[in-house]
Amino acid sequence: MKSKINKKKFKKTILFLKNLPWLIGENAFQFFLIMIFLAIIIGGAFFVNRIMLMKRHYKSELSQMPILDENGLNDIWNVWQARQVKIKGTNSRVYPNPFLPKGE
């Protein structure tokens, strides 16, 4: 008796899944609105969850602000100066115009 009930439920489920595209097609506008509403709810839940996690994370780190000593600042300054030298050096090369004939 139990297997007959399971077979009936299984057949009803299969029949429902076969008719589901027709049901969605007949009620396309309502389906579209429901899907947008669900997407907004799920996206909002993820957004709020992320905001709460960030608040918890940053509350624990506010007391641990980074302190840069003079050596660290000098290292950063030297790296920036080296980059500036490299950037200024790239403009010194003259490239030929590929659209002019080779004789010019």
pLDDT by residue (tens digit) across 61-99? 555 666 778 888 899 999 999 999 888 877 677 778 889
Number of Cβ atoms within 10 Å of the Cβ of 31:
13
- Contact indicator for 31, 24 with CB cutoff of 8 Å: yes
* Whether the model pTM is above 0.85: no
Structure tokens at 39: 């997407």
Per DSSP, helices labelled H in 1-104 are 2-26, 28-61, 70-89
Q: Residue ranges of the domains in the chain?
A: 2-90
17-66 pLDDT, tens per residue? 888 888 888 989 999 999 999 999 999 999 999 988 888 777 655 556 66
37 three-state secondary structure? helix
